[in-house]
Amino acid sequence: MLEILNLTIQITKDNRTLIDNLSFNINQNDKFAIIGLEGNGKSTLLKAIVDKSLISFCDVFGTIVIKGKIGYLEQSILDHWMDTNVIDFLLKSNPDSIIDLNDYQKLGHLDNILQKLKLNPKLIDENKKVSQYSGGELVKLGLTKILLNDSDILLLDEPTNDLDLETILYLEDFILSETKPILFVSHDEALLENTTNGIIHLSQIHKKTKPVHEVVKMNYVDYKEFRHIALDSQEMIARKQRSDYQKKMDRFRQIYSKVEYQQDQAVRNPTLGRLLKKKIHALKSMEKRLLKEKDTFFEIPEREEAIDLFFDKSIGIPNGKTILEMHLEPLKVNDRVLSKSVDISIQGNKKIAIIGRNGSGKSTLLKLIYEELLNRNDISVGYMSQEYEELISDDLNALDFILKGFDQREEARIRKMMGALQFTREEMVSKTSQLSGGQKAKLLLLKMVVNKNNVLLLDEPTRNLSPLSAPVIHELLIHFNGCVICITHDRKFLENVFEEVYELNEENLKKLI
């Protein structure tokens, strides 16, 4: 159904190779996930398959064979469809195309699809522009379009972004029951664990100068174990090779130094001098052979999930300290009531998660909490919005964003911390507008660490992080001694980190756990 042969993708601007000589194929019943760190080319690969013109900043080489119609759920629908009404979005292949009259017959199936995705059946009658829908509604509309057009191959780019738990579970069931081949990118560990039967892992090693990949026909759980064992084995062999080599070189140097000393002492003995000269020549040949051995060494593997980030243990909140006492009646945006009543009381270093359906007002509530706490002198508040641009100015480079408010003498320390988060030197001084969503998320987390915040307000913090690095963020927050108030629909994150879970609905903020 989909075959990729020797695909290479290079960034035109600096001729940097993003993906090198990648080959794979997917067929009926295949559910392949593309994983890897931020900026390693996952979304770019999907776009190259759909339409090379979507990545005009890249040169694409190799063969892409597609048998059937592709249904593509892009990560940022608004990039292309912002001013398009919903009917045109559902029926057009691109904003400038023309709707064939026969395409309108597809709308006969629309009610069933909208019901499955829990979208308003009157959505067509409203005929709003795409830009008027929330992030979660946009993802659902994208899935509606794919289902409506009866695609043969499904390509999904971060399909769980902005979805509520109920719809994530529907999406999971949909992927599991679908027989059509599915190729998708996702940060959601639970989704990966429950649905995949193939993995395409894109990596960048040697300080992001060398692209490598791995394609395996196994589920995500088995792949993690397989990869862990393989990396441990490779590292053990690589380090033993280097240890054995060092011992040989130490022994060689001892012998060489001894022969050199003997040669210096044999000035009056020409016969001995000639013998020692031959020995020196033989030793130099041995040295060349030893040096060539290094070319056969296994590389010490780079572990992309090895993110070194932690809060100072001295940062914390006393158990009995009141962090928040909030009563809202109602919670609303402009004149729209989101919830009739919100009451929440938080003391000490609790870790609290807030869930709820899309559009229920979770992000609005978190912003209100931020405004409530921002000017407190007895706590230090860090805030991560879903809209990173609200907090990270495009005019600053990444290093200057972290350094803001600090003495320039802190630069060396902060550069080291950014390096531990897999930022290259070039990325440290790049404009933040050029960074991926995951890199911006890491920047905001690092800023909280550097600022020594003891209260963290996080809106979907794992949504753009690699599933391989997300567990490290889990550990970061588990061992954090301060208070965390977080909006998330990440099931693994909820399970591993949070002591209390609240659900925001039309009536109130209800404690579930």
pLDDT at site 306: 55
Q: Do the domains spanning 2-224 and 322-393+436-511 agree at the CATH topology level?
A: yes
40 with 202: CB under 8 angstroms?
A: yes
Whole-prediction pTM value?
0.80
- The backbone torsions φ and ψ at residue 357, rounded to the nearest 5 degrees and listed phi first, read -65, 160
pLDDT at site 268: 67
Q: How many CB atoms lie within 10 A of CB 203?
A: 19
pLDDT at site 324: 93
d(CA 320, CA 459): 25
pLDDT at site 304: 62
d(CA 481, CA 495): 18
Q: How far is CA 22 from CA 201, 353, 465, in A?
A: 11, 40, 23
Q: Does domain 322-393+436-511 have CATH number 3.40.50.300?
A: yes
Q: Residue 500: which H helix or E strand, with range? A: strand 500-504
Please list the pLDDT of the chain residue by residue as tens digits (513 residues): 899 999 999 988 778 899 999 999 999 999 999 998 877 889 999 999 999 888 888 899 999 999 999 999 988 787 778 888 888 888 888 888 888 888 888 888 888 888 877 777 777 777 788 888 877 778 888 888 888 888 899 999 988 877 888 888 888 988 998 899 999 999 899 999 999 999 999 988 877 778 999 999 999 999 988 887 777 777 788 888 888 888 888 888 888 888 878 777 776 677 777 787 788 888 888 888 888 888 878 777 766 655 678 888 889 999 889 999 999 889 988 888 888 899 999 999 999 999 998 888 899 999 999 999 998 999 999 999 988 888 888 888 999 999 988 888 888 999 998 988 888 888 898 888 888 888 888 899 999 999 999 999 999 998 888 887 778 888 889 999 999 999 998 999 999 999 999 999 999 999 888
Closest CA to 339 of 361, 372, 315, 309: 361
Domain ranges of the chain: 2-224, 229-296, 322-393+436-511
The torsion of the CA quartet 406, 412, 417, 418, rounded to 10 degrees, works out to 90
d(CA 202, CA 4): 15
Closest CA to 64 of 77, 80, 52: 52
pLDDT at site 503: 93
Q: Looking at the structure, give the CATH architecture of the domain made up of residues 2-224.
A: 3-Layer(aba) Sandwich (3.40)
482 with 347: CB under 8 angstroms?
A: no
Q: How far is CA 30 from CA 51, 156, 173, 195, 221, in A?
A: 22, 13, 15, 10, 16
pLDDT at site 193: 94
